[in-house]
Structure 1
Amino acid sequence: MINRNKNFLESLLTFSLGPFISALLGFLFIPLTTKLISPVEYGKGSFFITIVNLISLVIILGLDQSYVRFFNESNDKKKLLYNSVFIPILLSVLIGFCLILFWKPLSIFLFSESDFYIMFLLSVSLLFSILLRFSSLVIRMKEKGSLFSIFTIVNKIVLILVLFLWAKYVSDRMIAVVMSYVISLFVIFFLQILVEKKEWNFDHFTPSLDEQKAILKFGLPLIVSGGLMWVLNSMDKIALRAWSDFEELGLYSNAFRIAGLLTVIQTSFTTFWIPTSYRWYTEKVDYNKFNKVSEILTLVLTLVFILIVWLKGFFRFFIDESYYDSIAMVSFLLFMPLMYTLSETTGLGISFSKKSWLSILVALIASSTNIVGNYILVPRLGGIGASISTGLSFIVFFWARTIISNRLMKLVKIKLQIIATCIMLLFACFSYGNSEFIELSKIALPLIVIVSIILIYKIKYKGLQTNV
């Protein structure tokens, strides 16, 4: 039985610990990987993962979100899992077969080289990425934060070990990045199945047409929005592949790893927050509680953003010289995890009202911004142009999602978010080629920290209750 009396912050901490340690391990390993793998090969490996994510997003048919949406309402959660995962597994096997059948032209088109092994691994990755998505959701929806954290840490350890050993002793080409990704998928899924094996025992189940219709009705509109979200998340890499080269893509991917210091907050918070927010809504919790969470998160993320932008120059002491140019791409990339995380607290009205089609409109607005931005900036500025376009697009995404949600349900106030967005945008702009930025930061940062701490305590003791 799920413990519903945990302290809010304690519950959040259990989900945060794993992603935090995982990000720390990844950050500590950056210097070694930049010395072992060239930007070109790292760019190819990163593009492989981008392709896996794209195909997985399409074939999952939005059923992962349907599983989350109907979890608390379902009387038979095992049956819900079976009906949610059945179709995506079939599609992953079918598409994987097609990738192997047409491996040569696809390999040349995607990676500029003929490699059957890479295409075989791509097909295998599709299946295990789908399975891992649902096995992770089972743990998330049961709110097993400690278990989630353990798997997150183990996943990062496996990925790092395989990447290091393969690059050091087998090959320092893109295959090292690919193998580390594929093996980590398999290992973590296998471990999660062992822990939650009762949930995955489908011996006497057959697909339920009625339930599949219900979850598809909710999930199918999310295919379009999910595809548009993929454009929003990955158009930068596609643009760099089309209008630049793999070296620039490798530098850009390294900047993403640095920005991953903020992604840890996104992963840990959203993993905990999504099931909690749905439960709060089901229990008819006071809307003011949603607002307090959003305000505290806004202040915390603003502080973290400013600190990383302020200190990003120090990263050159930890990476190989061939990756120095990636540091300039970090500032605007931070908006990607930051604005998405904030939108999870301000955009709940769309999900609660079950108007998932509005997610399509939000994603369309933001992805269109990203396409235009990359088309204009990438040919001229390369990775820096891609980072600016991506950052601005996620700001657009946040405000589109927030405004539409607020028209449906007044869950949060947005005055603080307006101020925070302006402050972060100014800091990001100042960090590009402004010699006075560091001096300005030394004066502004302490003041922002002091004011923010006062506001956090004021908000915290003003209304956020401890029990969730």
Structure 2
Amino acid sequence: MPSMALLLIVLGGLLLFDGLVARLLFDVPDQLLSIMVAVGMIVQLVSRFLSLILRMYEQGLAFSMSQVLPKLLLLAIIGIYILIGVSQNLTSLVLAYVATFTLTCMVFAWNTRQEWLASFQQSVDAERLKPMLRFGLPLVLNGVAFWGLTATDKVLLRVLSSYQELGLYTVAVSFAAAGIILQSVFSTIWAPTVYRWVSKGECLERVDQVSRYVLFCVVIIFCLTGLFSWLVTFILPDRYDDVQWLVISCLGYPLLYTLSETTVVGIGVTRRTGFAMLAAVLAFATNAVGNWYLIPSFGAAGAAVSTIIAFLVFFILRTEFSMFLWRPIPRLVHYCYTTVLVFGSILSTLYGEQLSWLTYSFWLVVLLASFWTFRAEVGQLKQVVLYRLGNQ
């Protein structure tokens, strides 16, 4: 209710200005587009809360299908557009997205019908509501700040640069979306699992162990991307050649965020969500300042560099706050490798074309070093694989 009330107030205020939302997003002052965007946001908010029911009940298959379904529905609707000859314009595309969001929300509502129908039969417990609001309201501001953290690059590229640079950056982000799949899957599984561990007061050493495995995975993905990003030039037209350098820094958002999920546990356990909000606000400010100064000089490359630096700050702040509130976390290896990865990403994005083979040599050295640093984890993984093969 608080989230919906806040969203309705904000959207209501924006819709009072004819076509303002569409003008800000699409540079088209169209009130119909603005209303469609507002409907899409409301439906998405409802879907988000319904999806949390599936997630916290660990209904993995239903949750996973709900994540895949929107993509399939969007493709189906666009396919229908092509078959029946719908006008290929912005209004049709936005309508397709809104229809997709609405149908997905209906699926969520059906899968969680027992829970939300039961909620209407319960009265509001004011005593329980107060601590829940103390826990949740900072997360509203945290969500706004995190949205700013992830959207500032695109907004300022639109304002400070050209649509060509924005298009180039969007393509690079699309390739980096492979990291978002990892982030989504891990976050879905991790949150219920770690809270169950903590509630039982056992297996807490597993949190640190999982964090090292995730760090190893993050290092490998960064290094392999740095070594083989040139392959995208065989897929894209010549005018998108710079994507091979941008995609490395664009991985910073999903991969560093995923890593921070393993070190931020203390904030959730202690329910001190104000610290989560503070981390997001400071990272957002870092990204805004970085984009403001770098985009005019470097365009899409500046946006990518600023974003990965901001997510390094985000990761460090979440880790330090979690330690302050809960318990010490072995983090020296984390900080060393994430700093090296961000440094290499910045060099690749800004000067990769000039440095050429030196860039590839850098990523190869980091990759080989990681296998030495995480040799214990490699050995454990090898034992697991051999054990599984032996049982088969």
Kindly state the Cα deviation for residue 323 of structure 1 after the two structures are TM-superposed. Answer: 3.8
Q: In 1, distance between residues paired with 2:88 and 2:376? A: 49
Tell me the TM-score normalized by structure 2: 0.87
Contact 1:333 1:387 in 2 (8 A): yes
Report the residue type matching 2:2 in the other structure. Answer: I
- Residue 146 of structure 1 is matched in structure 2 by 61
CA distance in 2, matches of 1:442, 1:381: 23
Equivalent residues in 2 for 1:298-447 (5 A)? 298-410=215-327, 412-431=329-348, 432-433=352-353, 434-437=355-358, 440=361, 444=365, 447=368
Give 1:171 deviation, angstroms. Answer: 4.2
Query: Alpha-carbon deviation of 1:99?
Result: 4.4
Task: Tell me if the contact between 2:14 and 2:21 (Cα under 8 Å) persists in the aligned partners.
Answer: yes
Whole-angstrom CA distance in 2 between matches of 1:322 and 1:162: 30
Please, which of 46, 50, 59 is the counterpart of residue 131 of structure 1? 46
Q: CA deviation at 1:126?
A: 1.9
Q: Residue 187 of structure 2 aligns with which residue?
A: 270
5 Å matches for 1:64-75? none
AA at the equivalent of 1:185? F
Measured in 1, the distance between the counterparts of 2:274 and 2:307 equals: 23
Cα distance in 2 for partners of 1:196, 1:255 equals 36
Which letter does structure 1 place at the counterpart of 2:3?
A: P
Describe the superposition over 1:319-372 as per-residue Cα deviations: whole angstroms up to 9, x where unpaired.
344544433321111111111111111111122122212123322321221111
Q: TM-score, normalised by structure 1?
A: 0.73
Please identify, of 119-128 and 219-228, the stretch whose mean Cα deviation from structure 2 is larger: 219-228
Which residue in 1 is equivalent to 2:31? 116
In 2, the alpha carbon distance for the partners of 1:419 and 1:122 equals: 42
Q: More relative contact order in 1 or in 2 (CA 8 Å, sep 6+)?
A: 1
Asked if residue 221 in structure 1 is aligned to residue 142 in structure 2, the reply is no
Provide the residue aligned with 1:63 in structure 2. Answer: none
Instruction: Please report how far the alpha carbon of residue 175 of structure 1 lies from its aligned counterpart in structure 2 after TM superposition.
Output: 3.7
Matches of 2:216 and 2:169, distance apart in 1: 28
Q: List gaps (5 residues or longer) in structure 2.
A: 384-392
Aligned partner letter, 2:61: S
Equivalent residue runs for 1:10-29 within 5 Å:
none
Q: Distance in 1 between matches of 2:301 and 2:81?
A: 30
Q: Which amino acid aligns with 1:417?
A: H
Do the aligned residues in 2 keep the contact of 1:340 with 1:398 (CA within 8 Å)? yes
Q: CA deviation at 1:253?
A: 1.7
Contact 1:299 1:420 in 2 (8 A): no
Instruction: Sort the Cα spacing of 1:266 and 1:304 in 2 relative to 1 into closer, same or farther, 3 A.
Output: same
* Count of residues paired in the alignment: 378
Instruction: Assess if the C-alpha contact under 8 Å between 1:366 and 1:393 holds in 2.
Output: yes
Q: Could you tell me whether the CA contact under 8 Å between 1:167 and 1:176 is conserved in 2?
A: no
Decide whether aligned partners of structure 1 residues 368 and 178 sit closer, same or farther in structure 2, where only a CA change above 3 A counts: same
Q: 1:364 to 1:90 in 2, by over 3 A?
A: closer
8 Å Cα contact 2:248-2:345 kept in structure 1: yes
Cα distance, 1:226 vs. partner?
Answer: 2.5
CA distance in 2, matches of 1:297, 1:384: 27
- The residue type paired with residue 65 of structure 2 is I
The within-5 A match list for 1:200-215 is: 200-201=116-117, 202-215=119-132
CA contact (8 A) 1:291 1:411 kept: no
Q: Does 1:192 align with 2:108?
A: yes
**Deviation at 1:242?**
1.7
Q: Per-residue deviation at 1:265?
A: 0.8
What is the CA deviation profile of residues 436-468 of structure 1, one whole-angstrom value per residue up to 9, with x for unaligned ones?
146526853773575467332346699xxxxxx
Is the Cα contact below 8 Å between 1:302 and 1:420 reproduced in 2? yes
Give the counterpart letter for 1:406 in structure 2: M
Q: CA deviation at 1:236?
A: 0.8
1:261 maps to 2:178: yes
1:350–1:213: structure 2 CA closer, same or farther, 3 Å change rule? Answer: same
CA RMSD of aligned residues (A): 2.7
Question: 1:457 — aligned with what?
Answer: 378
Aligned identity (percent) is: 28
SS of the residue corresponding to residue 410 of structure 1 reads coil
Aligned with 2:330: secondary structure? coil
Please say if residues 239 and 374 of structure 1, whose CA atoms lie closer than 8 Å, have aligned partners that are also in contact. Answer: yes
Task: Give secondary structure in 1 for the equivalent of 2:261.
Answer: helix
